[in-house]
Amino acid sequence: MSEAITATAVSKRFWKLDEAPTLVGSLLNRSSRTELWALRDVSLTLHAGEALGVIGRNGSGKTTLLKLLAGITQPTHGRIRVVGRVAPLVSVGVGFRAEMTGRENVLLNGMLLGLTRTEVRQRFDQIVDFAELWDFIDTPVKFYSSGMFVRLGFAVAVHTSPDILLVDEVLAVGDIAFQVKCTERIREIQDRGATVVMVSHAIGAVRAISDRVLLLDHGEVRSDGDVEEGIGRYHELLSSDRSENLERVMSEGEKIYTGGATIVERRLIGPHGPMHYAHRDQRLRVEASVRFDTDVESPMFAMQVIDQSGHVVYAKHSRISFEYHRYRAGQEAEMSCEFDPALGGGTYWARCVVLSNDGRRILALDDRGEAFFIEPTKGASGAADLGGVVLVDGIDTDVLAEDEEARAQSLRQ
C-alpha cells in the first residue's frame, strides 16, 4: 500500500494575542503575545484507503491537523507530505455567496474544492440529485433553509472524487436522513480506495467510518490505532474533565464526602466484554472493587448514571436488608450492578458510590465514572428511550422506513 499521508514530528505554534495586532500598538510596544502549541511532535502515516477518525476534546489540535493536511497552514516544525487530490470538507459551502443561485454557487464551490470548470459541469446533475434541490437550484441561496444550504454544500464536496477526503464535523448538521446519506456516501468514496480523515465529536459517526482512531490531547497523540481503545481513552479524558463537576453534584443536599473507602477498580461490561458503546437493548453491568480504609458498619452500595450535564439520571442503592455487615480496614468488597441503558442517545457515565449506613456520608466516590455512549434510536429524542412505536392506520412507521431503506439498498445494487 502506498502512503497517502505522512506527518513527521509535526508541531504547530500559534500566537495568542491579547488584542488585534496593530502598527500603532507595536510601535508603542504594547502588543503582548503568548505562544500556543496546537500540535506537538505528531507523527502519523496513513496508507491509501485507510479511514482515520481523529478525536479529542476542544482545543486538542484536531482542526489544526486537518488544516495542515489541507495545506491551509504550514507546520512550525516537522514535515507533511500528502499524495493525491484532497477534498477539504472543513466546512460545507465554502465561498457560497448568498445573493447567487444554487447553480452558480455549485460551480464556484466545486472549483474551490479543486475541480475544474468542466468537471463541475459534468457532475452537476449528480450533485443536484444528491442534494435533492432541483426545485431550488436557480434560487439565490439566501432563500435556502440551513438544511438546504448544508445539503448543497455537502453534495458538492462528496462529488469531487478525491483521493483524500478530509471531514470536519460536518456530519453533525442536517437532518438525520441526510446524515445517513452522507455517511453512506463517505463509505462509497472509501470503498473506491480513497483515504478518509475525519474529525468529530460525534463518536457514533467516527465509529461508523473509521478503521483507526487517533486521539489527540493538548496537541499530543494519546492513542493511535484500535477504534475502541481510542474511544475508551477519549471517554476517560472526558470524565477526568467532569470529576470536579461530579463532586460538586455529589456534595449537594445533605450528603457530605468523608472518605473511608476507595474504589480500586471498575469496569463497564456489555454482552461481549468491556465496552463503551451500547445500544439501548443491550444490558450493561458496572463492576467495582472497593477497599475499605477504616472499619465500616453496614455501608450502602450504589450505582449512578450521570448525563453530560452532570445530572444523575438514574441511581440504584443496595437494599437496606443488607444490614449487620461489617468491613474491617483493608478489607475489599466486590460490587456490581446490571442495568438496561434505556436512555436517549448521548454520552453517559456509570459510577459506583459507597455510602454510610444512614446514606448521609459518602465514603467512596468513583468520580471518574466509566463513560459509555448510547446510539440514538432513529426518530427518538429525549432523556430516556421508552421504546415507543408509532402506528399510522395500523402500520408501524419504523418497519415501513426500514423496508424503504432496504428497497433503496437493493435498487442501488
- Residue 267 as a binder of another protein (CB under 8 A): the answer is no
Binds another protein by CB under 8 A, chosen from 40, 67, 151, 280 = 67
CB of 204 to another protein, least distance (A): 24
- Residue 72 as a binder of another protein (CB under 8 A): the answer is yes
* 98, 109 contact by CB (below 8 A): no
Stretch that binds another protein, among 104-112, 203-211, 230-238, 239-247 (CB under 8 A): 104-112
Stretch that binds another protein, among 12-20, 215-223, 291-299, 321-329 (CB under 8 A): 12-20
Stretch that binds another protein, among 13-21, 50-58, 124-132, 278-286 (CB under 8 A): 13-21
Among the listed residues 169, 158, 163, 164, the one whose alpha carbon sits nearest the alpha carbon of residue 55:
169
- Residue 80 as a binder of another protein (CB under 8 A): the answer is yes
- Residue 32 as a binder of another protein (CB under 8 A): the answer is no
Binds another protein by CB under 8 A, chosen from 53, 75, 174, 260 = 75
Stretch that binds another protein, among 64-72, 131-139, 241-249, 268-276 (CB under 8 A): 64-72
- Residue 198 as a binder of another protein (CB under 8 A): the answer is no
Rounded Cα–Cα distance for residues 212 and 207 (Å) = 9
Judged by phi (left if over 0) then psi (alpha if -120 to 50, else beta), residue 193 lies in: left
Rounded Cα–Cα distance for residues 280 and 288 (Å) = 22
Half-sphere exposure (Cβ direction) of 297: Cα atoms closer than 13 Å: 3
* 15, 36 contact by CB (below 8 A): yes
**Sign for the pseudo-dihedral over CA of 376, 380, 385, 389:** negative
CB of 45 to another protein, least distance (A): 15
- Residue 91 as a binder of another protein (CB under 8 A): the answer is yes
Binds another protein by CB under 8 A, chosen from 45, 71, 325, 397 = 71
* 300, 394 contact by CB (below 8 A): no
DSSP code per residue over 267-330: EEEETTEE-SEE-TTS-EEEEEEEEESS-EES-EEEEEEE-TTS-EEEEEE--TT--S-EE-TT
* 128, 151 contact by CB (below 8 A): no
Considering the complex, state which of residue 168 and residue 385 has its C-beta at the smaller distance from another protein. 168
Please identify which residue in the block is written with the cell numbers 442517545. 345
Q: Which grid coordinates are listed for 176?
A: 438525520
Cβ-proximal residues to 111 (8 Å cutoff; 6+ apart), any chain: 117, 120
Binds another protein by CB under 8 A, chosen from 77, 103, 218, 368 = 77
Considering the complex, state which of residue 8 and residue 336 has its C-beta at the smaller distance from another protein. 8
Rounded Cα–Cα distance for residues 297 and 323 (Å) = 8
- Residue 350 as a binder of another protein (CB under 8 A): the answer is no
The pattern of x and - marking residues 149 through 188 that bind another protein according to CB under 8 A reads: --------------x-------------------------
**Sign for the pseudo-dihedral over CA of 61, 56, 156, 46:** positive
Considering the complex, state which of residue 72 and residue 391 has its C-beta at the smaller distance from another protein. 72
**CA-to-CA separations, 128 to 106, 136, 161, 250, 378, in angstroms, rounded:** 9, 10, 16, 53, 26
The helix or strand, by DSSP H or E, that contains position 206, with its residue range, turns out to be helix 203-209
Binds another protein by CB under 8 A, chosen from 49, 59, 78, 310 = 78
CB of 123 to another protein, least distance (A): 16
CB of 179 to another protein, least distance (A): 21
Considering the complex, state which of residue 18 and residue 338 has its C-beta at the smaller distance from another protein. 18
Considering the complex, state which of residue 6 and residue 331 has its C-beta at the smaller distance from another protein. 6
- Residue 20 as a binder of another protein (CB under 8 A): the answer is yes
- Residue 251 as a binder of another protein (CB under 8 A): the answer is no
- Which residues is 411 bridged to in the sheet? none
CB of 113 to another protein, least distance (A): 7
- Residue 112 as a binder of another protein (CB under 8 A): the answer is yes
Stretch that binds another protein, among 106-114, 251-259, 285-293, 301-309 (CB under 8 A): 106-114
Binding site for another protein (CB under 8 A): 14-15, 17, 20-26, 67-68, 70-86, 88, 90-91, 94-95, 97, 99-100, 104, 107-108, 111-113, 116-117, 163
